[in-house]
């Protein structure tokens, strides 16, 4: 079964635009779980422009499913994850200036660094995933670094889906097979939506988890959060 983890960053963005606590990030997270999501994802950035570090601390005791914290493993981020002990940490090579994630790790060039960071998280009992492009070599070295899983960066699949979905999915199937070959789990995320999620899952049904935020929050404006989450879950069956 492929789990759906809902990224609630955009909810925090809306809250931060006006200050106060509307919408309530904690309530939305609980509602997502109540409506069927099997996980909650947050991505705290150094400038805290959406999810704040303290949000992560307040969310931890409220999450009853899996809690996934993603981000660039700078010292402050590492300390936060070790403090709250999330179910999973996803390492993403974001710079502070990036609006959103736009590439995966070069796991070959960063092998020593990633091995050290992954070892720290795994020693604390935290499952560790590495955000990578759909490249078998990057998957192989993520496994060598000790990662429990990789998360495939799916924007190239999404951008190529309309023109030729068979061509767009091909490198992802290859990377997914590599993950299985090297004995690590498989997540996916970035720009997946109701338009393209089902086809992705049909071709890679051994996916452990998809992490989706922007599209879910956008769809919820029209369909409501409950119905939206159920529609996404239906794509994974």
Q: How far apart are CA 184 and CA 139, in angstroms?
A: 9
Are 89 and 53 in contact by the 8 Å Cβ rule? The answer is no
Name the active-site residue from 70, 140, 151, 209: 70
103 carries an active-site annotation: no
Q: How is residue 213 written in tokens?
A: 């935020």
Count the Cβ atoms, other than its own, within 10 Å of residue 52: 18
Mark whether 43 is an active-site residue: yes
Q: What is the C-alpha to C-alpha distance for residues 99 and 190, in angstroms, rounded to an integer?
A: 13
> Which three-class secondary structure state does DSSP give residue 90?
strand
- Closest CA relative to residue 67, chosen from 77, 57, 75, 76: 57
Closest CA to 104 of 130, 126, 128, 84: 130
For the packed helices 9-18 and 25-34, what is the interaxial angle rounded to 10 degrees? 150
Residue of 43, 50, 66, 209 with catalytic role: 43
Q: Which of the following is catalytic: 33, 50, 66, 190?
A: 190
Q: Is 164 exposed, middle or buried (0-12, 13-18, 19+ CB in 10 A)?
A: exposed
Query: Is 50 noted as a catalytic residue in this protein?
Result: no
Q: Which residues are catalytic?
A: 43, 70, 190
């Amino acid at each position: 079964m492929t789990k759906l983890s809902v990224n609630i960053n955009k909810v925090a963005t809306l809250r931060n635009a006006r200050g106060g606590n509307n919408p309530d990030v904690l309530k939305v997270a609980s509602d997502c779980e109540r409506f069927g999501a099997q996980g909650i994802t947050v991505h705290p950035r150094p400038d805290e422009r959406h999810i704040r570090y303290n949000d992560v601390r307040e969310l931890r005791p409220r999450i009853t499913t899996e809690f996934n914290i993603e981000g660039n493993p700078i010292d402050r981020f590492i300390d936060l994850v070790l403090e709250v002990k999330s179910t999973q940490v996803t390492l993403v090579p974001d710079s502070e200036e990036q609006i959103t994630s736009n590439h995966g790790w070069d796991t070959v060039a960063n092998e020593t660094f990633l091995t050290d960071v992954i070892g720290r998280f795994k020693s604390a009992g935290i499952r560790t995933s590495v955000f990578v492009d759909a490249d078998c070599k990057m998957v192989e070295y993520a496994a060598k670094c000790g990662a429990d899983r990789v998360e495939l960066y799916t924007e190239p699949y999404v951008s190529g889906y309309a023109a030729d979905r068979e061509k767009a999915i091909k490198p992802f199937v290859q990377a997914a097979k590599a993950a299985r070959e090297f004995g690590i789990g498989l997540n996916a995320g970035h720009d997946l939506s109701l338009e393209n999620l089902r086809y992705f899952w049909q071709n890679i049904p051994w996916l452990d988890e998809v992490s989706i935020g922007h599209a879910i929050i956008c769809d919820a404006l029209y369909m409501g959060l409950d119905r939206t989450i159920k529609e996404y879950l239906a794509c994974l069956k």
